[in-house]
Structure 1
Amino acid sequence: MSGFTLAVHELSFVPEGDEVVVGRLDTGSYAVFPPDGAELLKRLTEGMALDEAAAWYEETFSEPVDVEDFVATLHELGFVRDADAAPVAPAAPVRFQWLGRAAFSPVAWACYLAVLVAWSVTVSAHHDLLPAPSQIFFVKSLLLVQLVITFGQVPLLLAHEGFHILAGRRLGLPTKLRLSNRLTYIVAETQTNGLMSVDRRKRYLPFLAGMVCDVLVLGTLGLIAENSRDGDGGFSLTGRLCLALAFTVVMRFVWQFQLYLRTDLYYVFATALGCHDLHDASKALLRNRFWRLVHRPERQVDEGQWTEQDRKVGTFYGPFVLLGFCVLAGITVFASIPVTVSYFRLAAHAVGSGRIDSHFWDSLLSLCLNAAQTTALIVLSRRKRREQRRAAPTSLNERVN
């Protein structure tokens, strides 16, 4: 090992309390190191030989270090590159960074605040603008309602993720949009590689930017609805469409409060408390408590794989999980159930009226489309469970061998 140096990728070092977050900006691979480990890694990245680094560590911290084990950990994290391989080329300049700065400039914030204030004043005078489940049915055609609500959310969802992207690019981070499939749904997610390489206080805006967009969209749709009323004061078709879409925006906004999921607010909460994997740590602690209660200690997982702060916060994270389930219950009771009941009541009235007219065919097609979606959801869900069961033995063998 004498004179041997380690080829290490370019890394970022961000102090956080008593720990240091170290990671690769190009891959988004990060790990939490104690200060002494981070200092040792810095020496290795600067080209210090392994034996010299071990001697430096022992002299500085008055205790020996297992360098071979430390290097093995760096390999597992993907921090070490092949000595013969060329270093990763510097990332190209982030595109549209200027747009990100403009989107969150003082002028932009003033405009967003003006929209919010105007909407709040307008709603206080016209309570029929307040979001309500009945607004979903903006026309009599259930099929048209279903199609518009399904596909009309796409640009609003992209706007939500677009604000996340711009907030990241404002910091010079290579954020991008990724589309993934979850059963029958297409999900848009923002990948923000490098977010852990910036100071903690700078991470809040990228996490909250999507909710800022939702508030802005809600206010804009409400103002359009108000200013497009008919002569008799009722809502025009444009206004009813805006209110229907606004209701879906409100549901997406409220969804973020389900802190038992990895929502935008969950990341804000975890960041504020200095946690790195609060979601998994809290679940593991809860399961371990259960297995200890039923005297099955062999089922417990090693809690040492999470940081001390994750474990400390995870012990009292339960009330926030309960809050998340309360939010889900509220969405179900005050939104999902009323919309579902109204939908089937209208469909049953049209199909069971005895008249074979446009409303009959419209409702029948809508019911068939819903049935097809539900069937596809069940089939794909069962297929996914079968694939997971088939993959489980293989994964177990790989771990054993």
Structure 2
Amino acid sequence: MAEEAETEKAVSDVEIAFHELSFIPEGDEVVVGRVDAESYAVLPADGAALLREMTRGMPPDRAAQWYQSTYGEQVDIDEFLETLHELGFVRSDGVTEHERPEPPRRVPLRRLGHAAFSPLAWAAYAAVFAGWLVAAVHHDDLLPRPGHIFFAESLLVVQFGIIFGQLPLVFLHEGFHVLAGRRLGLRSRLSVSNRYLYIVFETQMNGLLGVERRKRYLPFLSGMACDVVVFSALGLVANHTRTADGAFSPVGRIALALAFTVLMRFAWQFQLYLRTDLYYVFATALNCHDLHNASTALLRNRVWRLLGRPHRVVDEEQWTEYDRKVGRWYGPFISLGVVVMLLITVLGSLPVTVQYVETAVRSMRGGAGDASFWDGLLAMVILVNWFVLPAYLARRKRRRARSPLPPVTAEPATTKGVN
């Protein structure tokens, strides 16, 4: 027993080796994070101060004494250290940062990020938007409308033109997020994935919580700023490629079709319940760390209590006090995103769908001997597939999640050939 006590005392006298950590004050709390591993924790100011002293080389026992003398309270240093280990803040190799300093790695595209958001670049973006406003005032046919989607008589051409035409524009939107992060020295990156049959681009803002709050807004809003510029540029292209009689050229019609899709994506960002770019702007401005989950949980708890089902109520202590405080009034507010969804449906999606179906039906009236018949028929098959297949896949995914795992047997595994 005496040897174990001596061992524990010896360990508590040894300096703990930490990874490089960031300390970002957020009101009465501090967001402490290990940027390279995307591991963060929200600590009270005194807890962050204790951790900072330990990262500077103060052994645990001395750090506990320092905390007691500074704040007049005792701290369970063993439990505190266990939490730090779970967060991955403690180095496994035992080497402290000042013993083995790592030179800062160069962040690719950082100069391009600075250029993309320089004062000169912002002036150019503003000029493009102002140019579109002037053109739209004189030519109201530039104003977005659902009919712009149908830039060609063939619905198949429209379908695949919109699908493949959007890809570089979505890539550009996400690319602006990446550049805004690289500008801050973050290793933000863009990846290509899919959701069911749809190709999607995803941006990972690695280390964004490790920078000051005021610097996070641009990475969140940069994609929407890109959409405004792209929308304006496409409108100007359509206006400046008119034919001699003032009608839109094929290039202009394609530009207006893509501009309408950009506008729909921009409006989609206002559906805050989907945790869009604007949601993160609001959460940052309100100094919340998990506002969506906290507010929706509080809202559901309120409903379950009103329905007399307290057993369905979840523990609210898993969120910070401030998240709960804001979530009490923010929960009903995010439900307004449903209103935005309805407006997008009524003003955008529904008119496009109705005109699409009308065009397809009109094309199929010519009979199977007409090429337009097959164009309309295949277009309708694709339209139905858009609604049916995602719903089917989502239902199958839910059924798999609810189904119990098959029992594990002791039978040997066999290898089957695939023909």
TM-score band, normalised by the shorter chain? over 0.9
| Contact 1:183–1:381 (8 Å) recurs in 2 | no
Aligned to 2:163: 150
Aligned to 1:71: 81
Is 2:185 the counterpart of 1:172? yes
Q: 2:290 is aligned with what amino acid?
A: D
Aligned to 1:58: 68
Deviation at 1:236, TM superposition (A): 0.5
TM-score (norm 2): 0.89
Aligned identity (percent) is: 59
Aligned to 1:24: 34
Deviation at 1:375, TM superposition (A): 4.4
Q: Of residues 281, 289, 292 in structure 2, which corresponds to 1:279?
A: 292
Q: Of residues 182, 196, 218 in structure 1, which corresponds to 2:231?
A: 218
Aligned to 2:381: 368
* SS of equivalent residue, structure 1 residue 260: helix
1:334-345 → structure 2 map (5 Å cutoff): 334-345=347-358
Aligned to 2:151: 138
Aligned to 2:57: 47
Deviation at 1:390, TM superposition (A): 4.0
Q: Distance in 2 between matches of 1:198 and 1:274?
A: 13
Q: Of residues 336, 344, 348 in structure 2, which corresponds to 1:323?
A: 336
Q: 1:255 is aligned with what amino acid?
A: W
Q: Distance in 2 between matches of 1:300 and 1:253?
A: 35
Distance 1:287 1:341, change over 3 A: same
Q: Distance in 1 between matches of 2:185 and 2:289?
A: 22
| CA RMSD across the alignment | 2.0
Q: 1:134 is aligned with what amino acid?
A: G
Distance 1:303 1:100, change over 3 A: same
Distance 1:84 1:392, change over 3 A: farther
Per-residue Cα deviation, 1:244-303 (whole angstroms, up to 9, x for no partner)? 000000000000111112111111111111111100000111111122223333322221
Per-residue Cα deviation, 1:71-110 (whole angstroms, up to 9, x for no partner)? 2222222222314579795562101111000011111011
Aligned to 1:351: 364
Question: Higher mean Cα deviation, 325-334 or 354-363?
Answer: 354-363
Is 2:194 the counterpart of 1:181? yes
Q: Distance in 2 between matches of 1:105 and 1:125?
A: 31
1:96-245 → structure 2 map (5 Å cutoff): 96-245=109-258
Distance 1:89 1:357, change over 3 A: farther
* SS of equivalent residue, structure 1 residue 150: helix
* SS of equivalent residue, structure 2 residue 244: coil
| Contact 2:115–2:121 (8 Å) recurs in 1 | yes
Q: 1:327 is aligned with what amino acid?
A: V
Aligned length: 394
Q: Of residues 374, 394, 418 in structure 2, which corresponds to 1:381?
A: 394
| Contact 2:296–2:331 (8 Å) recurs in 1 | no
Question: Higher mean Cα deviation, 98-107 or 62-71?
Answer: 62-71
Distance 1:382 1:224, change over 3 A: same
Distance 1:373 1:283, change over 3 A: same
Q: 2:363 is aligned with what amino acid?
A: A
Deviation at 1:326, TM superposition (A): 0.8
TM-score (norm 1): 0.93
Gaps of 5+ in 1: 395-401
Deviation at 1:182, TM superposition (A): 2.2
1:262-277 → structure 2 map (5 Å cutoff): 262-277=275-290
* SS of equivalent residue, structure 2 residue 360: helix
Q: Of residues 309, 319, 332 in structure 1, which corresponds to 2:345?
A: 332
* SS of equivalent residue, structure 1 residue 317: helix
Aligned to 2:415: none
Gaps of 5+ in 2: 1-7, 408-419
Q: Of residues 282, 288, 301 in structure 2, which corresponds to 1:288?
A: 301
Q: Distance in 2 between matches of 1:100 and 1:295?
A: 54
| Contact 2:194–2:200 (8 Å) recurs in 1 | yes
Q: 1:244 is aligned with what amino acid?
A: A
| Contact 1:259–1:320 (8 Å) recurs in 2 | no
Q: 1:173 is aligned with what amino acid?
A: L
Aligned to 1:397: none
Deviation at 1:392, TM superposition (A): 8.6
Deviation at 1:187, TM superposition (A): 2.1
Q: Distance in 1 between matches of 2:54 and 2:403?
A: 43
Is 2:324 the counterpart of 1:311? yes
Q: 1:326 is aligned with what amino acid?
A: V
